[in-house]
């Protein structure tokens, strides 16, 4: 460095020279992510939802790759393939382990709730003339 220019800060690890630092308000990636870029979840979902033609019972039909994979897995597990059986059982356990949202018919009201509901019904129902 020329002797006429003195530094008033230290240059080293994680301390770049001032003229190479990012300026305020300017991005290091000005164009950013392209709008059409897809993440792994989207790519996988699109690939599994793509259709394939399979021959089934002497005919041909279109199914998704997702359906084809599950069908092949279940068929392999039916032929005593232990790895396939383990995968199917794990899938079933995961599906059955997920809690389903309670339907409105199964949600029970307490006695206080029932009283409030009856009062509201009485207030809003008008006797017919």
> Do residues 65 and 53 lie in contact, with contact meaning Cβ atoms separated by under 8 Å?
no
Residue 91 located in a structural domain: yes
Give alpha helix (H) positions in the chain: 40-48, 65-78, 82-97, 111-124
Residue 33 located in a structural domain: no
What is the rounded CA–CA span in Å between residue 25 and residue 13? 24
Q: State the total domains in the chain.
A: 1
Residue 47 located in a structural domain: yes
Residue 25 located in a structural domain: no
Residue 21 located in a structural domain: no
Residue 68 located in a structural domain: yes
Residue 92 located in a structural domain: yes
What digits encode the pLDDT tens for the residues 28-55?
777 887 888 899 999 999 999 999 999 9
Domain that holds residue 73: 41-96
Residue 61 confidence class, pLDDT cut points 50, 70, 90? very high
């Amino acid at each position: 460095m020329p002797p006429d220019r003195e530094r008033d800060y230290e240059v080293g690890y994680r301390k770049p020279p001032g003229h190479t630092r990012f300026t305020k308000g300017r991005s290091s990636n000005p164009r950013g992510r392209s709008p059409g870029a897809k993440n792994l979840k989207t790519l996988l979902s699109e690939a599994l939802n793509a259709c394939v033609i399979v021959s089934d019972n002497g005919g041909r039909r279109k199914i998704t790759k997702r359906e084809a994979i599950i069908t092949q897995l279940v068929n392999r597990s039916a032929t005593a393939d232990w790895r396939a059986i383990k995968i199917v059982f794990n899938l079933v356990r995961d599906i059955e382990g997920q809690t389903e949202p309670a339907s409105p018919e199964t949600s029970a009201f307490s006695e206080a709730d029932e009283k409030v509901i009856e009062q509201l019904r009485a207030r809003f129902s008008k006797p017919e003339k």
